[in-house]
C-alpha cells in the first residue's frame, strides 16, 4: 500500500533514487530499457516509469478574474 503521499513527493523520491549515481534519471531509464530490449526482456514497467517522470507537473490554476458587477 502506498499510503497518503502526494504525487509530487513520490515523483521526487523516484527521481532522487534514480539520480543517486549522478546522472539524468530519464537517460538512465532509456539505457535500462534499451538493454532489456536487447536481452528480450519486458519493459512495460520501465517505460511507464519513464512516462510518469516525463509527464508535466501539476499546473497552477489561475485565479478567477473579477468581473463587472451588475
For the chain, give the percent of residues with pLDDT over 70: 89
Task: Give the N- to C-terminal CA distance of the chain in Å, as an integer.
Answer: 52
| Predicted local confidence at residue 33, as pLDDT | 93
- Tens digits of residue pLDDT in 10-41: 888 888 887 776 778 888 889 999 999 999 99
Residue ranges covered by each domain of the chain: 24-55
Global pTM?
0.63
At 1, the pLDDT band (50, 70, 90 cuts) reads low
Does position 44 have pLDDT exceeding 90, yes or no?
yes
> How far lies 38's CA from each of 6, 14, 29, 44, 55, in Å?
35, 25, 14, 14, 26
Amino acid at each position: 500500500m502506498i499510503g497518503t503521499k502526494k504525487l509530487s513527493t513520490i515523483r521526487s523520491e523516484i527521481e532522487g533514487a534514480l539520480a543517486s549515481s549522478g546522472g539524468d534519471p530519464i537517460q538512465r531509464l532509456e539505457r535500462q530499457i534499451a538493454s532489456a530490449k536487447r536481452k528480450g526482456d519486458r519493459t512495460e514497467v520501465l517505460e511507464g516509469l519513464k512516462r510518469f517522470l516525463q509527464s508535466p507537473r501539476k499546473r497552477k490554476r489561475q485565479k478567477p478574474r473579477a468581473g463587472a458587477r451588475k
